[in-house]
Amino acid sequence: MRRVAVLSVHTSPLEQPGTGDAGGMNVYIVQTATSMARRGIEVEIFTRATSSELPPVAELAPGVKVRHVVAGPFEGLGKEELPAQLCAFTAGVLRAEARHEPGYYDVVHSHYWLSGQVGWLARERWAVPLVHTAHTLAKVKNLALAAADTPEPRMRVIGEEQVVAEADRLVANTDVEAGELVDLYAADPAKVLVVPPGVDLERFTPGDPRPARAVLGLPADAVVLAFVGRIQPLKAPDVLLRAAAEMLARDPGLRSRLVVLVVGGPSGTGLKTPEELVRLAAGLGISDVVRFLPPQGGEALARVYRAADVVAVPSHNESFGLVALEAQACGTPVVAAAVGGLPVAVRDGVSGALVDGHEPGAWARVLAEVALLRREGLAANAVGHARRFSWDRTTDSLLAVYAQAGEVFREEVFA
């Protein structure tokens, strides 16, 4: 493996995750690309140019280039408008490759269905295998819609079905996702390989919560419940607020100590802006305990995890849930919805707790139990659980998938 073309049409690896369309997929691409580059493999990531100021090529890290492809107007184009720009984007990708000698890339790895459509053509044109990671699937999302959410369009379902049929190998985060690809999308089981994602264990380390709380202006004795992620109905930050209100109704004495920290920016449709959560907090009578922070990067995010007694991941669906792993790596137990990949990311009763459904009363009970009674024991196990995951391990597995995809591709071509 000398060179990998990575396709990330709708979101750039250079963006700060935690708002808009930038989330776990961006982190996944950055971490695996830099890990590949450290092994001497060149990685070129193609993404749509969203500003006229962006250079055609930027260096993300030694050995990792980001190619900005012009496809449609730079700004003001929503994700739902991108399918109409795929032809322009693909033309830009093919043009960039055509400047090199034939066989420049060894494999093309597409992320999310929009990129899968581009990868499909690149595979044909370059005669290299296509490896695809869906990250999320429309049929799965539509089965678990939040009340405020809009269903994913049929266009996406059809597009995903095409990519599933055309890709040489499909990478799933968990066995659950692999099953969904087979059961809901009729994927050939032999084509689906499970590769768990990782966590940056150098950045997300356990630490004393007191200095973290001091920086964030939180009292040392506060009971801190945190939500970290894009503010969108699917992530259900509203469930945490409703559960916090329930906790206070049951235990009014907690009011002087409880802090609900909501970290992240708006994304998607429906309950999408922090303003809506601000209104919800006011409606629930808990404005005094809820604090909002914009998306955090670097050490600041690790500080948020360390400052929290519990990180809540109440999502209606989550193909994995990197936030859950990051919090645990910082020694903070996670209370998560028992959906998608979260039962893999969190070990129920060991490194945190899983909750069935989204009923605020049930969430209040489990959050109170973990934050007030079981925090220490779970925290110790949380670090050990998170350490079972690493981006280098993810990268090892991805490289094995690329090699396998290459073999089957050659067998097919020479058959």
Binding site for ligand UDP (CB under 6 A): 17-18, 23-25, 27, 228-230, 263-264, 295-297, 301, 320-323, 326
Compute the least distance from the CB of residue 125 to ligand UDP, in Å: 30
- The verdict on whether residue 405 carries a ligand-binding annotation is no
In our burial notation (b when 16+ CB lie closer than 10 A, e otherwise), range 122-147 reads bbeebebbbbbbbbbbbbbbbeebbe
Compute the least distance from the CB of residue 353 to ligand UDP, in Å: 18
Which residue, 263 or 386, has its beta carbon nearer to ligand UDP?
Answer: 263
Compute the least distance from the CB of residue 31 to ligand UDP, in Å: 9
Which residue, 209 or 264, has its beta carbon nearer to ligand UDP?
Answer: 264
Which residue is closest to ligand UDP by CB? 23
Residues in a beta bridge with 61: 64
Compute the least distance from the CB of residue 176 to ligand UDP, in Å: 14
Residue with tokens 């044109």: 125
- The verdict on whether residue 104 carries a ligand-binding annotation is no
- The verdict on whether residue 318 carries a ligand-binding annotation is yes
According to the 3-state scheme, what is the secondary structure of 285-338? CCCCCEEEECCCCHHHHHHHHHHCCEEEECCCCCCCCHHHHHHHHCCCCEEEEC
Question: Which residues touch 228 (CB under 8 Å, ≥6 apart)?
Answer: 18, 263, 264, 296, 301, 304, 305, 311, 323, 326, 327
- The verdict on whether residue 31 carries a ligand-binding annotation is no
Give me the amino acid identity at 188. Answer: D
Question: Which residues touch 27 (CB under 8 Å, ≥6 apart)?
Answer: 17, 322
Structure tokens at 331: 């020694």
- The verdict on whether residue 112 carries a ligand-binding annotation is yes
Which residue, 90 or 267, has its beta carbon nearer to ligand UDP?
Answer: 267
- Per the CB < 8 A criterion, the answer to whether 225 and 367 are in contact is yes
* Cα angle 146, 152, 154; round to 5: 145
Which residue, 72 or 266, has its beta carbon nearer to ligand UDP?
Answer: 266
- The verdict on whether residue 79 carries a ligand-binding annotation is yes
Compute the least distance from the CB of residue 267 to ligand UDP, in Å: 8
Residue numbering of the annotated binding site: 10, 16-17, 21-26, 79, 112, 136, 156, 230, 235, 296, 305-306, 308, 318, 326, 332
Known binding site for UDP-N-acetyl-alpha-D-glucosamine: residues? 16-17, 24, 230, 235, 296, 318, 326
